[in-house]
A and B are shown apart, each in its own frame.
Chain A
Amino acid sequence: MIVADKKPLAEVLASIGKAGRVLVIGCDTCVAECAAGGRKEVALTASALRIALEKEGRRVEVREACLDRQCVNEFLPEAAEDMAWAERIVSLGCGAGVQALARFYPESDVVPGLNTQFIGTTVQPGVWVEECSGCGDCKLAFFGAVCPVTRCSKRLLNGPCGGSKGGKCEVSPEVDCAWQLIYDRLAALGLLARLREFVPPADWSASHSGRPRTIIREDRRI
């Protein structure tokens, strides 16, 4: 999922400017799972804005809404009435959601309420960890489903380096050495021989390098 966290309230207030009608709109998919932009966070942000604005002596109406997915056009018409009403829209979607919403409603002034961080997993309640860099050339098959591109601080495809000590990375004792994880997992699976296979260099042209990536599936197009 896409993992995000909240922007400072002061930044959101600044982006609202002098608008008198504000819509806070969440997304009930990835950012709901990471407790940043689901219905509860919409309620929290809207309440905080109402209190902060009233404290400043401003009379601003703040509405709340939440879409199932902000990044998919089919879900966006549901917000049409609120979008038309609002002078400023604070999106608690990820960066893709913010842009999809703004593109779908070209007359609306949409600002982000979150900082989008990474593709990650919920490793325990309240803890989200980056696990995928979206590099476009997945090598997980070689590495026991542990991604060295994301989880190794040096992105080594031929680790470990000399900085691996006691299963931890020299960057921080809090960080697991990805190559220790790879070794342990392959050992547990009895697949250590896989580490003897030659791993071709990554095709970095498939990564985010100078242009937005696009995938086109003709069988899914209308």
Chain B
Amino acid sequence: MAENELKVVVRGCHNLVPYRKLVTDRQHRWPRGVEAGLLPCSSKVEAHQVLKFFEQGADGALILACPLGACRLVEGNRRAAKRVGYAAEWLDEIGLEPVRVRFVAVEPDRAGDLTELISEFYQEIVDLGPTPIRGSGPGGGES
């Protein structure tokens, strides 16, 4: 599979202002295959949703959160970190590289170069290559 067919899902807290600006900026050009979206809080991501990304053909998933200690919901980003870790354990059990899913609490010193942070993750997924899952199989069910 060519690099330009890779699919990377990015989700981030809408209170992470630099990320929200990127997502809502219609002029911003994401790397090909990156699908970005906003969450009301990073902790809204649960393990079954992360696995759904991969089931539907994602090759990597990046969850972005506010800096640790700066969550408006106090514990949201800490919970998100644990949930993403749990999803990584499932990926490992399935036989996919657990590094394909990552949680990053974006500290203020990295907030200015979010594009670079996302590109770095994207490049790591390029280096890993695609998963054998293209989301084209039968089934689906409720999410």
Contacts and interface: CB of A to CB of B under 8 A. Distances in A.
Given A40-B48, A51-B55, A55-B132, A60 B93 contact: no
Nearest to B86: A44
B139 interface: yes
Contacts of A64: 141-142
Contacts, number: 65
Interface in B25-57: 46-48, 51-52, 54-55
Interface in A34-51: 40-41, 43-44, 46-48, 50-51
* Dominant secondary structure at the A interface: helix
A47 B51 contact: yes
Interface string A1-30: 000000011100000000000000000000
B138 A61 contact: yes
B137 interface: yes
Give the interface size class of chain B. Answer: 20 to 34
A46 B51 CA distance: 9
A59 interface: yes
A61 B139 contact: yes
A51 B139 contact: no
B4 interface: no
A135 interface: no
A47 B52 contact: yes
Given A51-B133, A55-B132, A59-B137, A9 B142 contact: no
Interface of B: 46-48, 51-52, 54-55, 90, 93-96, 131-134, 137-139, 141-143
